[in-house]
Structure 1
Amino acid sequence: MICIDSLQIRVNRMLLLAVGLWPYQQSKLVQFQLILFFTILTSFIIFQFTAFLTSKCTPDLLINVLSSTLFYTFLVVKYSWFHINIEDVKCLLEQLQNSYKKLTDENEISILKKYSSYAKRYTAGLILILTFMGPGIIIYEFCPKFFDILLSINESRRFSPRKIIVTEYFIDQKKYLYLILLHENTALLIGIIALLATGTMLIVYLQYACGMFRIACYRIEQSMAVDALRKGSLRNKNLTFQKLIRAVDMHREAMKFSDSSVSRFKVMFSFMIVIGLVSGCLSLFRLFQGLSLGHNVEEIMLPLTSYLIYLMYLFLSNYTAQEIMDHNNDVFITAYSIQWYTASLKVQKMILFLLQRNTKVFNLNIAGFFVGSLETAAAIFSTGLSYFTVLYSIQN
């Protein structure tokens, strides 16, 4: 069992518990919770596709259904894959705990705490953002009168709950409207909490990896302290060797942990990139089509929300991966920048051995197709805009 307080992941634990993904409490009740949540999500996707059985398959209907079903599929993939690899989640947490326990230097402990606080800020910020996005749709459906007044809509209409997603339950939609909305909003809420819980947990892993890289830099700097080199005693030379060895070990551990955090979810990331790209393009098309045709707010709220979630997930995940690359490069920049020329020949050879590792590029590779970086995020975003432009021009 890990120490929640030492790793500062209390909020992340609560989010994972809410959707049954906390790896240390997998009781029968939690297993039932997982099955129930997965059934709610997948059944809502199915009831969107059944709309094709009772309605004429027009391009507009196809785009509307696909954009929403792919969005929920995006959520289901993240939720289910995290559960499938729950033992890997547990293993990564235990690796973090072991790395934290090995630290004895107060400065190194403070470095790791600083990066854990960064992860807490990411979590808090994402909670605030998604709190306004997801529940905003739910409130809009159940409180239309309030939003109509707020948005100064002067059209005379009956103030009743509104469906914003095309579904077919083969029942009287008006009579059972509240049950249908309950199913729709429960699925949305589960999916968003699952996305938030799993996404922030991955951010925690990568932020701790950044902390490990920074500790490696700190150890290199300390190993080449000027005072220790000037004395030139055998004891100080041995101390320099030991600190360099510990720096190399921490660097290797940071790279291994970073790669493990991503490699165990490569298939999931590949699916999410493809689904997010297609669904994001369709959502953007629905958004622009709704704005150009002057559709009601409810018809553009879901595509707007889903597209913003895709963008946020795309750039935040790639930004975190970019941070890993930058922190890895900082290790070699530190090795270049220290006063290595004042050290003994043996120490210089050891530093040269460390610098040779820089000839191999280290990055977070997704199934051999994508490299996590801001450049990749911009390329995917540009590709999505290109597909949207072609689709919009064909439709019009």
Structure 2
Amino acid sequence: MICVETQHFNLNRFLLLAIGLWPYQRSKFSQLQATLCFGILTSFVVFQLTALITTKCTVDFIIKVFSTALVFNFYVIIYSMFWINTHHVRNLLEQLHCICNNLKDENELAIFKKYENNIRRCTVIFTSFAICCVFIFTLLPIWPQILGTILYINESQLQSHTIQIVTEYFVDQEKYYYLILLHTDAVFCIGATTLTAIGTMLLGCAIHACGIFKLASYRMEQIMTTEMIKNINLKNRAMIYNKKIFYAVEIHCKVIKFINALVSNFEGSFLLLIMFGVICLSLNIFAIFRNASLGNKEAFVLHFLYVLVIFLYMLAANYAGQEILNYSAHIYFIAYNVRWYNAPLHVQKMILLILQRGSKTFSLNIAGLFAISLECFAMLTKASMSYFTVIYTMQQ
């Protein structure tokens, strides 16, 4: 028996356990851990927004605050989205578990194994990228201090150069500088782990959906094999036809049900993420140009990493949606190209049902507004650049 939860999502399990969101074995400690992580993420957003209370609000200052606050709010939305829907995630994993354990054919198991390896490869790549980003984020505040040991810059000058994120803790920020820095680094680590763990978990579900679509295509191809046509026993041939067409339709229905459950459980959160993603991209692209003109290298690198992370997150999500769209369309072409005319009449009618179902485009539709695909990614990127152009023009 194959355990999807531990074999296919082993690294994802480790990352989710680190932030208290693994959907199995929900102990009191994991609930306390999740509450603590969520509190740290939320408090950092609050301490950024409180700066609007104590500081004179200009358009430039508001953009500076929201360009970072919305990025960390991005973490909060993703974390709370997964935390609230933990039981739904467990149900999705159980569906995959049932589908996987019903596979008996060696070729089908090999197909499933291939997509399992793809999940692990993607998780390792995104985890490595997250580690690099956290390393850079952590290094940025102490980099001037490293240079200060060589250039003999005093501590007050160093601290004035290292604070790139506007916050208001209602305390002396120079006196409690290292505590504030510790809070900031903790948020970066938890946020990066959240993005990586949840993002790769959902991406893994999408890759599994593509693998199940591939299994449905494989079973469709096996309906009209050469051995089937050469079988002279008409009664046995009809029985095998019925059995194979049933297996193909069954797994196709299961993957449709799985994807619909995935989208419906996270639909509201996905919509919020799309909205915040477009706004974050616009504001941080503006911040990149702003800090480049002012010569603020540390802030430039910080906002560049924000844009890079959000851009890659949106690209990965929309690319996964495009792959699901392509794999679902492939079943239609397979059903159309098999030698259905050699099958009995009742089997031809069943294949016709699959053709009618496949003629309708199947996609990950979010609230009837966005169909997750590369076209959607291009549209969102274009919208972000348009908003950036408006902001940049207004500030000139």
**TM-score normalised by the chain length of structure 2:** 0.94
**What residue number does 2:224 align with?**
224
Distance 1:342 1:35 in 2: 61
Distance 2:43 2:254 in 1: 43
CA contact (8 A) 2:4 2:96 kept: no
Q: Are positions 1:290 and 2:291 aligned together?
A: yes
Assess, with a 3 A threshold, how the Cα gap between structure 1 residues 131 and 62 changes in structure 2: closer, same or farther: same
1:298-309 matches, within 5 Å, as 298-309=298-309
**What residue number does 1:271 align with?**
272
Deviations 1:111-161 (A, max 9, x none): 111111111111111111111112211122123355799xxxx98844745
What do you get for the CA RMSD once the two structures are aligned? Answer: 2.0
Assess, with a 3 A threshold, how the Cα gap between structure 1 residues 271 and 2 changes in structure 2: closer, same or farther: farther
**What residue number does 2:195 align with?**
195
5+ long unaligned stretches in structure 2: none
Distance 2:369 2:290 in 1: 32
Distance 2:334 2:379 in 1: 31
**What residue number does 2:33 align with?**
33
Distance 2:105 2:210 in 1: 17
CA contact (8 A) 1:223 1:241 kept: no
Aligned-partner residue type, residue 90 of structure 1: R
**What residue number does 1:78 align with?**
78
1:71-220 matches, within 5 Å, as 71-146=71-146, 157-158=153-154, 160=158, 162-220=162-220
Distance 2:19 2:172 in 1: 31
CA contact (8 A) 2:49 2:65 kept: yes
Assess, with a 3 A threshold, how the Cα gap between structure 1 residues 263 and 271 changes in structure 2: closer, same or farther: same
**What residue number does 1:54 align with?**
54
**What residue number does 1:257 align with?**
258
**What residue number does 2:367 align with?**
367
Q: Are positions 1:237 and 2:232 aligned together?
A: no
Assess, with a 3 A threshold, how the Cα gap between structure 1 residues 182 and 6 changes in structure 2: closer, same or farther: closer
Distance 2:44 2:304 in 1: 20
Deviations 1:263-306 (A, max 9, x none): 100011011111111111000000011112222x2212221111
Distance 2:291 2:152 in 1: 20
Assess, with a 3 A threshold, how the Cα gap between structure 1 residues 147 and 104 changes in structure 2: closer, same or farther: farther
Following TM superposition, by how much is the alpha carbon of 1:361 offset from its aligned partner in structure 2, in angstroms?
2.1
1:7-18 matches, within 5 Å, as 7-18=7-18
**What residue number does 2:68 align with?**
68
CA contact (8 A) 1:79 1:194 kept: yes
Following TM superposition, by how much is the alpha carbon of 1:232 offset from its aligned partner in structure 2, in angstroms?
4.1
Distance 1:6 1:308 in 2: 31
Give the count of matched residue pairs. Answer: 391
Is the deviation greater in 9-18 or in 165-174? 165-174
Distance 1:197 1:370 in 2: 24
Assess, with a 3 A threshold, how the Cα gap between structure 1 residues 252 and 130 changes in structure 2: closer, same or farther: same
SS state at 1:143 partner: helix
**TM-score normalised by the chain length of structure 1:** 0.94
Distance 1:290 1:357 in 2: 52
SS state at 1:23 partner: coil
Distance 1:4 1:238 in 2: 32
Assess, with a 3 A threshold, how the Cα gap between structure 1 residues 324 and 148 changes in structure 2: closer, same or farther: farther
Distance 1:155 1:376 in 2: 49
Is the deviation greater in 330-339 or in 226-235? 226-235
Following TM superposition, by how much is the alpha carbon of 1:191 offset from its aligned partner in structure 2, in angstroms?
1.2
Sequence identity (%): 41
Following TM superposition, by how much is the alpha carbon of 1:5 offset from its aligned partner in structure 2, in angstroms?
7.1
Following TM superposition, by how much is the alpha carbon of 1:185 offset from its aligned partner in structure 2, in angstroms?
1.3
